[in-house]
Chains A and B, each alone.
Chain A
Amino acid sequence: MEAAVNNQLVSIEKPEIVAPPDWEPVIIGILCNWCSYAGSDLTGTSRIQYPPNIRIIRVPCSSRVDPWFLIKSLQTTADGVLVSGCHPGDCHYISGNYYARRRFLVTKKLLNFVGFHENRVQFSWVSAAEGPKFAKVVAKVTEDIKKLGPLHLYKKENFEK
């Protein structure tokens, strides 16, 4: 879904805001230490290229991710957020990611309900061996957010663009 008006990229939630011509999205990536973070490391060591828009934050487990982290990220620099954890069944802490996926769904739906496009927050399961997958995930998320335009909703002081 393109957020374009008169061939100019606009913020999809607020079409009156036009993206600057050289705008690059900022994606905050919250990765679990044991699978996704290691997987992203493998992507790097395999010299697979992926868009540099992502800024990575390491957490011990995807269930560490409080919905508040997503809200805070969206209020500060992020145009989009990616949260990634271990595949169901492979969580280092056995069941963390099972709890996490319930929380993720409710957070995503509530953000959509109050007016964020549903692609602003995205989730993935990336294992420590899935270097190429991580690159594909980041490329997809970056591409999706590029189409949605800059996020201009409820930014904190100092982050208004």
Chain B
Amino acid sequence: MSVELFVTDKAGLTKFYEAIISKNETYAPVEKFGKYDFKRVSSFDACNPDAPIAQTMSAKPLFFPRSAKIMKYTADHSGTTVKETDEDSLAGKRAILGMKHCDARALQVLDKVYNWDYIDTDYQRRRENTVIISARCDKAETHCFCTSLDYDVEHSDAMDVAIVNGTDGKVFIEARTEKGKVFLKEMNIEQRISNNEFQVTDETAPAAVKQQYEAFAASFRLKMDYTEVNARLSKIFDSPEFENVSANCISCNTCAFVCPTCHCFKISDEKVKDTGVRYKSYDSCNNGYFTLMAGGHNPRPVKYRRWRQRALHKFVYYKERFGENLCVGCGKCTNSCPVNISIFEVVKQVSETVSV
């Protein structure tokens, strides 16, 4: 974590964003039908880096695409040959604007599983080549609970460049990683300072940044003692409470598809005659047909068991295996759920039925 902290104002920030867009392959939230999704942008007017959390999709598809071609093949009477697919369009050097801290943190969580028993080189390359510029939220939205979980939101190094809004229109910019420092240099930080677009901060700046964090942390509706919850959850596999909390679920796949940390996938082949393409696409463990096997066996036909698996994977199993929570507390699942099931409420309600 760096202590190079710079200050500018809204106009300076906009110029900075514009410069990023003109010098880099940039992805930012673009609005369509009232929802923001991360798309490649070539001008600042086309995007909104301050899109509201509830209306913004995760940037995860820029690292783990919704559908990726993983191979091409020919299969005819002479045998099967496998060919490489086309160039990965997401593997170039690029910058992402408008990712929230939770979304950026989710990538650090996913890094664990993608570097585990199999090193996913596509994912690695995309991670290495990406610079994340993330503005810390000024206040939490209805379903946010990132500060209740087991990571340090205030000093997070999940993003390379962090932006914090101070009071009186000041905007603080800080490189949190080495990559971020290099990026700021590439974006002519010294020149901006000599042009007075940016200023080096004085000793009051860290306090101002901390003040913003304090106001932000106080704005949360949802708070829980995560260690307590995790301790209880590890004991309640058989709790009948799971049936109650999952009764409303319609197994529609939405939560897993919008979640920044979910990483289940399915493989499908698109074949015509002798040639085909193999896709890896998003899947959801809540789906009634999840991992349906040839022969018809369904490992989890009962809904509350699927929900139990989802909750425990997020809050217990992943933690046991990798030391990190698989949930970052962004609330996207609850926002998108057609019946507003809140994973926070599920986990809290179930853990309350356990005596430690």
Is B272 close to A, CB under 8 A?
yes
A residues in contact with B277, CB < 8 Å = 157-158
Is B45 close to A, CB under 8 A?
no
B residues in contact with A156, CB < 8 Å = 270, 272
Separation of A106 and B260 alpha carbons in the complex (Å): 40
CB nearest to A76 among chain B residues? B272
A69 to chain B, nearest CB (A): 16
B residues in contact with A93, CB < 8 Å = none
Separation of A157 and B268 alpha carbons in the complex (Å): 12
Is A159 close to B, CB under 8 A?
yes
* Per-residue contact bits, chain B 269-296, to A (CB 8 Å; 1 contact, 0 not): 0111001110000000000000000000
**Chain A interface: which size bin?**
under 10
* Per-residue contact bits, chain A 136-161, to B (CB 8 Å; 1 contact, 0 not): 00000000000000000000111100
* Per-residue contact bits, chain A 5-49, to B (CB 8 Å; 1 contact, 0 not): 000000000000000000000000000000000000000000000
Separation of A160 and B69 alpha carbons in the complex (Å): 15
A53 to chain B, nearest CB (A): 19
CB nearest to A158 among chain B residues? B272
Interface size on B, residues (CB 8 A): 7
Most buried by A among B272, B275, B277: B272
Separation of A76 and B69 alpha carbons in the complex (Å): 18
A residues in contact with B272, CB < 8 Å = 76, 156, 158-159
* Per-residue contact bits, chain B 67-105, to A (CB 8 Å; 1 contact, 0 not): 001000000000000000000000000000000000000
B residues in contact with A159, CB < 8 Å = 272
A residues in contact with B270, CB < 8 Å = 156-158
A residues in contact with B271, CB < 8 Å = 158
Instruction: Identify which of residues 105-161 in chain A touch chain B, using a CB-to-CB cut-off of 8 Å.
Output: 156-159
A residues in contact with B275, CB < 8 Å = 158
Separation of A76 and B276 alpha carbons in the complex (Å): 13
B residues in contact with A157, CB < 8 Å = 69, 270, 277
Instruction: Identify which of residues 176-222 in chain B touch chain A, using a CB-to-CB cut-off of 8 Å.
Output: none
CB nearest to A77 among chain B residues? B272
CB nearest to A156 among chain B residues? B270
B residues in contact with A76, CB < 8 Å = 272
B277 to chain A, nearest CB (A): 5
Most buried by B among A76, A156, A157: A157
CB nearest to B276 among chain A residues? A158
A residues in contact with B69, CB < 8 Å = 157
CB nearest to B275 among chain A residues? A158
A111 to chain B, nearest CB (A): 22
B108 to chain A, nearest CB (A): 33
Separation of A159 and B275 alpha carbons in the complex (Å): 11
Separation of A157 and B275 alpha carbons in the complex (Å): 10
A71 to chain B, nearest CB (A): 15
B272 to chain A, nearest CB (A): 5
B234 to chain A, nearest CB (A): 44
B residues in contact with A158, CB < 8 Å = 270-272, 275-277
Separation of A86 and B277 alpha carbons in the complex (Å): 39
Separation of A133 and B228 alpha carbons in the complex (Å): 79
A73 to chain B, nearest CB (A): 13
CB nearest to B271 among chain A residues? A158
CB nearest to B270 among chain A residues? A157
B315 to chain A, nearest CB (A): 38
B214 to chain A, nearest CB (A): 51
A153 to chain B, nearest CB (A): 17
Separation of A158 and B271 alpha carbons in the complex (Å): 8
A147 to chain B, nearest CB (A): 27
CB nearest to A159 among chain B residues? B272
Instruction: Identify which of residues 129-172 in chain B touch chain A, using a CB-to-CB cut-off of 8 Å.
Output: none
Separation of A157 and B276 alpha carbons in the complex (Å): 8
Separation of A11 and B118 alpha carbons in the complex (Å): 45
B43 to chain A, nearest CB (A): 22
Separation of A156 and B275 alpha carbons in the complex (Å): 13
Instruction: Identify which of residues 83-121 in chain A touch chain B, using a CB-to-CB cut-off of 8 Å.
Output: none
Contact surface of B with A, Cβ cutoff 8 Å = 69, 270-272, 275-277
Contacts A/B (CB < 8 Å), 13 sampled: A76-B272, A156-B270, A156-B272, A157-B69, A157-B270, A157-B277, A158-B270, A158-B271, A158-B272, A158-B275, A158-B276, A158-B277, A159-B272
Contact surface of A with B, Cβ cutoff 8 Å = 76, 156-159
For the A-B complex with A76-B272, A157-B69 known, give 11 more contacts whose Cβ atoms are closer than 8 Å. Answer: A156-B270, A156-B272, A157-B270, A157-B277, A158-B270, A158-B271, A158-B272, A158-B275, A158-B276, A158-B277, A159-B272
Sorted from nearest, which 10 A-B pairs have the closest CB atoms? Answer: A157-B270, A157-B277, A158-B272, A156-B270, A158-B275, A158-B277, A158-B270, A76-B272, A159-B272, A158-B276
